[in-house]
Amino acid sequence: MKNNQTERLKSCGVPVIITQLRIVDDKNQDVGVGVVGELIVKGPHMMKGYWRKEEETKRTIVDGWIHTGDIGYMDEDGFVYLVDRKNDMIITGGMNVFRSKSRIFSLSTRPLRKPSLSAFLTKNGGRWFWGLS
């Protein structure tokens, strides 16, 4: 397999023909090829809303587009790659840090029973993320 074909195995594939898919920034503006953003979808087969949850529906469906909460990007051939969930992203120092890309460290020698993500300030004012039990 060629290198780009091997990378394609990590993709979710391309959207089905009746699905409209966009990848947008926080201002709902389309991002370019290879740029990470939120996946939003639209189509006749999509949900119309949450049962008896009007406020949640209003937050999720904006101008007919369902905001999935999935963070990803699209390559030049239309293949979609997921990076993380929007709720799992931490913004620090103007950078987006995805939990799936973070490493979890233990401050002790005992094994982690329930890892969690906590933030501590470093000397230079940046943030490091540590997993603590």
CATH number of the domain at 27, please.
Answer: 2.30.38.10
Q: Is residue 69 part of a domain?
A: yes
Provide the whole-model pTM: 0.66
pLDDT at 31 (0 to 100): 97
Residue type, 28: N
Burial tier of 39 (Cβ tally within 10 Å: 0-12, 13-18, 19+): buried
Rounded distance between C-alpha atoms, residue 117 and residue 129, angstroms? 6
Res 80 pLDDT > 70:
yes
Q: Most distant CA pair in the chain: distance in Å?
A: 54
Full domain range(s) for residue 16:
3-88
Q: Which of 17-21, 87-91, 96-100, 126-130: highest mean pLDDT?
A: 17-21
Domain count, the chain: 1
> Residue 125 corresponds to which tokens in the numbers above?
């004012």
Higher local confidence (pLDDT), 44 or 86: 44
Q: Is residue 27 part of a domain?
A: yes
